[in-house]
Structure 1
Amino acid sequence: MLAHKPAIGVLVVVLLTACESSQTVRDEDSQYYSVPLGSTFALNTGITIQPDNTSVYLQFGNIETVGNIDFYKPHCKFELYTISEQARQVEPDTFTVTRIVDQREDVSLEWPRYAALAMGGYDGPVHLTYSTTMYLDSKMQPDVFRMTCKRWDWPATGEYLSINEMRQALGDYFTLTLAE
């Protein structure tokens, strides 16, 4: 039994070094580098949330109406918890990321077909929404809810947004600072 102890010790060391995190992706242009928990979004200028809305959309560094968003390009949605009949101002502040959810959702682009001529093949969604939702916390503005950055893409080759794509969508309105 004592003869096996060195072999077991070597095996444990090999297995533990195989789990080393030196392979972690830290390329801000990669879809595989996620925003770490504890990262912050600093709102650099006040944003007005229009009456009967809870959110604003940002794309190419501009605030846009949902009708002007190109859903195939990177865009972000900044949301509050509650809706109001009055316009509301979100003041410059720093929001901490407390939870992150990556998900893919179907995008419906046409009415369902009940009968069609086809030779078989793929019957899944034409596009998927690749989204990263970051839940935010602010002590000064507790109504701030979350930031969701996303785009529509092909099911087989689609990608989540990289950190730099998120920054491009947000422009000068928000500064994303990654936690260590």
Structure 2
Amino acid sequence: MPNKLTILLCSTLLAGCETAAMRDPGSPFFVIPAGTVLELKQALDVPPGQAHVKFQHGAVTGSFDDFTVGCRLNVKNLGPMTLQPERFSVTRAEVDERWEIYPTLKAFYRILYLHSAQQPEVQSLRCRYQTGGLEGRDISVPQIREALGNYFSLDIPQPQ
């Protein structure tokens, strides 16, 4: 009987730790919920011949430093076009990791699928970085905010 009680107690403690990390937006284990809002704070130009705008260290960039979190806002059609300030609803969020070159280079992704009735051409925000082999963690909300800078805010609803 003590063995069953010990197992139950340990399982409960471990589940409690996991839940706390998953509810902390600063944790790489945080699950970004549907209903989160990504707000574009200023007009944003999509370059000619591109279907995305890249951000890193709070600035629009043409290319990424792959070893630092960078985000790409994806649209349906090729630019040029100008996106207007707006609140985009996150309909779904995904976390992924992939080996770029096994076993030495791994990429981590966080993808937010977006919806807007006024600007339906905006599809998703895809954030990514890569790191050596067994290093690295999933991308956290603070890392996304740092990559986007003052162009966007990411408003996460409070848990009920």
Same fold (TM over 0.5): yes
Question: Among 24, 27, 30, which residue is 2:20 paired with?
Answer: 24
CA drift at 1:154: 2.5
Give 5+ residue unaligned stretches, structure 1: 1-13, 109-123
Q: Distance in 2 between matches of 1:29 and 1:20?
A: 17
Q: Distance in 2 between matches of 1:97 and 1:40?
A: 6
Residue 44 of structure 1 aligns with an amino acid whose one-letter code is K
Greater strand share, structure number:
2
Question: Among 97, 103, 121, which residue is 1:104 paired with?
Answer: 97
CA drift at 1:20: 7.3
Question: Who is 2:87 aligned against?
Answer: 94
Question: Among 65, 69, 72, which residue is 1:74 paired with?
Answer: 69
Alignment of 1:6-155 (within 5 A): 18=12, 23-25=19-21, 26-66=23-63, 69-84=64-79, 87-108=80-101, 124-155=102-133
Identity, in percent, stands at 23
Aligned length: 148
- Once the two structures are superposed, what CA deviation does each residue of 1:30-56 show, in whole Å capped at 9, x if it has no partner? 211122111010000011001110001
Structure 1 vs Structure 2 CA RMSD:
2.3
Residue 87 of structure 2 aligns with an amino acid whose one-letter code is T
Residue 30 of structure 2 aligns with an amino acid whose one-letter code is Y
Cα gap change, 1:49/1:21 in structure 2, threshold over 3 Å: closer, same or farther? same
SS of 2:66's equivalent in the other structure is coil
Contact 2:45 2:81 in 1 (8 A): yes
- Once the two structures are superposed, what CA deviation does each residue of 1:71-112 show, in whole Å capped at 9, x if it has no partner? 10011100101224xx1000000001111121112325xxxx
Q: Distance in 2 between matches of 1:20 and 1:64?
A: 41
Q: Distance in 2 between matches of 1:95 and 1:32?
A: 23
> Which structure has the larger Rg over C-alpha atoms?
1
Q: Distance in 1 between matches of 2:26 and 2:144?
A: 10
CA drift at 1:64: 0.1
Q: Distance in 1 between matches of 2:17 and 2:65?
A: 37
Q: Distance in 2 between matches of 1:138 and 1:61?
A: 23
- Once the two structures are superposed, what CA deviation does each residue of 1:113-157 show, in whole Å capped at 9, x if it has no partner? xxxxxxxxxxx2421110011100001000000001111013312
CA drift at 1:179: 2.0
SS of 1:24's equivalent in the other structure is helix
Give 5+ residue unaligned stretches, structure 2: 1-7
Contact 1:34 1:163 in 2 (8 A): no
Residue 70 of structure 1 aligns with an amino acid whose one-letter code is D
